[in-house]
Amino acid sequence: MSLIGKKAPYFKLRSHNNEPVMLSQLKGEPVVLLFFPFAFSGVCTQEMCNIRDNFNVYNNLKAKVLGISVDSHYALKAWAETMGIGFDLLSDFNKDVSAAYNCLMEVFVPGVYDYRVVSKRSAFVINRNGDVIYEEILEDARLEPSYDKIVEILKSLE
């Protein structure tokens, strides 16, 4: 079920720096949520490094970018430090937020890894009023979200 046009599901998660981050703290600014399966994995590293390398684009659009995975905040901290990621990575270790955003993958790469219940690679844009205005939930973990579309949506909010 699509969340577009609905209030973004509330969350309170721990950042990679073990700080609480609540969606309610971010009202008044656009938010980009990027769910991903695993820290230190190939496509996830490529995705977050793409955001890192183009962070000025999101910053200039006054958007708060948050990465979310089911990894522990300890793993996310090590990954952020290793990759030089300067934006918050949030631990959805209990999988509640991924479930609320309808982006849980039952089996990650069936027949190869068979890891159970991880975040699907997904992108959501939440406007200043807390409404979901864009969602992209990818069934294929090898794909990345449409960065151009995310930026286009953010520009439409200016």
- In a 3-state reduction of DSSP, which class is residue 157? coil
Domain with residue 132: its CATH number is 3.40.30.10
CA 108: distance to chain centroid?
Answer: 17
Quick check: is 143 in a domain? yes
Judge whether 135 lies within some domain.
Answer: yes
Does 108 score more than 80 pLDDT?
no
4: pLDDT confidence band, cut at 50, 70 and 90? Answer: very high
Over residues 94-106, the pLDDT tens digits come to 999 999 999 988 7
Q: Which residue's entry shows tokens 């720096």?
A: 17
Domain that holds residue 122: 12-156
What's the structural domain count of the chain? 1
* Alpha-carbon span 132 to 19, nearest angstrom: 24
The reply to whether 1 falls in a domain is no
Is residue 86 a part of any domain in this protein? yes
Kindly report the average pLDDT of the chain as a whole number: 93
Return the minimum-mean-pLDDT range out of 5-9, 109-113, 117-121. Answer: 109-113
d(CA 46, CA 36): 11
3-state SS class at 54? coil
d(CA 92, CA 106): 15
- Quick check: is 7 in a domain? no
Does any domain span residue 25?
Answer: yes
> Annotated active-site positions, please?
44
Using the predicted structure, report yes or no on whether residue 52 has a pLDDT greater than 70.
Answer: yes
